């Protein structure tokens, strides 16, 4: 097993993570992305969702990918893979600084969360699995269609569809009735952006598109990583 992904310290009984006193998981709206830092390694980075500064969240030689913030905003699921080790599902507590790890034979290609932030949906080439975050070791069990469905970001409140690859290529919102609405040309890596918008990567930047129409915006960040991709968003408690 690889070394822990974070540089952690314990001071006065409190866990300290790279975003302690910088970001407020579960309270403020956050975005987490994959990118390359100054060392060229593939890591995860977190920032206020509507602009500000990115902070590096992981520091490993392994490649992290497919981040997915839990509905609570305080847990982050992602995939770690490097060297000859098996690909791993990592559940990281953004407040406590702890992580839990479960190895897979095949690399997970999509992750999602069940309502309640207590179960993760994991899709690999071998099928969909559900991983419950109980008090014991993480264990994957058959998840079926429910886990597969939750591995795609749902949009709207109430949700009316999900962000998926278009049948003919590109990125679409697929309604629950199977109808496709194509997003912007060249759009990739779509994600839910709160109850009233969605986002995607285009030309290396995050574009936020309101579901009801209106101006498409590009939040501005400093210290954004190179090759920013695979965003995941959580609106924070203030938006609930």
Question: Rounded to whole angstroms, how far apart are CA atoms 25 and 57?
Answer: 13
Question: Rounded to whole angstroms, how far apart are CA atoms 53 and 74?
Answer: 19
How many C-beta atoms surround the C-beta of residue 143 within 10 A? 23
**Helices vs strands, H then E, count in the chain:** 1, 23
The pLDDT of residue 234 is: 98
The pLDDT of residue 14 is: 56
**Phi, psi (deg, nearest 5) at residue 227:** 55, 45
The pLDDT of residue 239 is: 58
Question: Rounded to whole angstroms, how far apart are CA atoms 27 and 94?
Answer: 12
Q: Quick one: which H or E segment has residue 157?
A: none
Bridge partners (DSSP) listed for residue 92: 76, 99
Both tokens of 19, joined, read 């975003």
Radius of gyration of the chain (CA): 17
HSE (side-chain half, CA atoms, 13 Å) at 12: 0
The pLDDT of residue 238 is: 63
- Pick from 52, 17, 16: which is nearest to 31 by CA? 52
Question: Rounded to whole angstroms, how far apart are CA atoms 72 and 115?
Answer: 9
The pLDDT of residue 201 is: 98
Residues of the chain with pLDDT under 70: 1-14, 238-240
Question: Rounded to whole angstroms, how far apart are CA atoms 97 and 174?
Answer: 36
The pLDDT of residue 4 is: 41
- Before 158, cis peptide (omega within 30)? yes
Q: pTM of the full predicted structure?
A: 0.92
The pLDDT of residue 10 is: 35
The pLDDT of residue 184 is: 92
């Amino acid at each position: 097993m690889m070394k822990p992904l974070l540089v952690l310290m314990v001071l006065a009984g409190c866990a300290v993570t790279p975003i302690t006193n910088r970001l407020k998981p579960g309270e403020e709206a956050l975005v987490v992305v994959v990118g390359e830092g100054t060392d060229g390694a593939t890591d995860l980075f977190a920032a206020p969702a509507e602009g500000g500064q990115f902070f590096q969240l992981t520091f490993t030689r392994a490649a992290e990918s497919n981040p997915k913030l839990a509905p609570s905003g305080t847990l982050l699921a992602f995939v770690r893979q490097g060297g000859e080790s098996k690909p791993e599902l990592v559940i990281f507590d953004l407040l406590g600084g702890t992580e839990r790890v479960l190895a897979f034979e095949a690399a997970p290609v999509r992750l999602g969360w069940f309502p309640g932030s207590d179960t993760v949906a994991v899709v690999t080439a071998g099928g969909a699995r559900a991983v419950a975050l109980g008090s014991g070791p993480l264990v994957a069990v058959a998840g079926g269609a429910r886990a597969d469905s939750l591995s795609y970001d749902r949009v709207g409140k109430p949700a009316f569809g999900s962000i998926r690859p278009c049948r003919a290529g590109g990125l679409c919102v697929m309604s629950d009735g199977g109808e496709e609405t194509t997003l912007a040309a060249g759009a990739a890596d779509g994600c839910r952006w709160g109850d009233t918008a969605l986002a995607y990567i285009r030309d290396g930047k995050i574009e936020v598109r309101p579901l009801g129409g209106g101006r498409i915006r590009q939040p501005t960040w400093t210290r954004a990583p190179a090759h920013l991709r695979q965003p995941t968003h959580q609106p924070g408690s203030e938006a609930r």
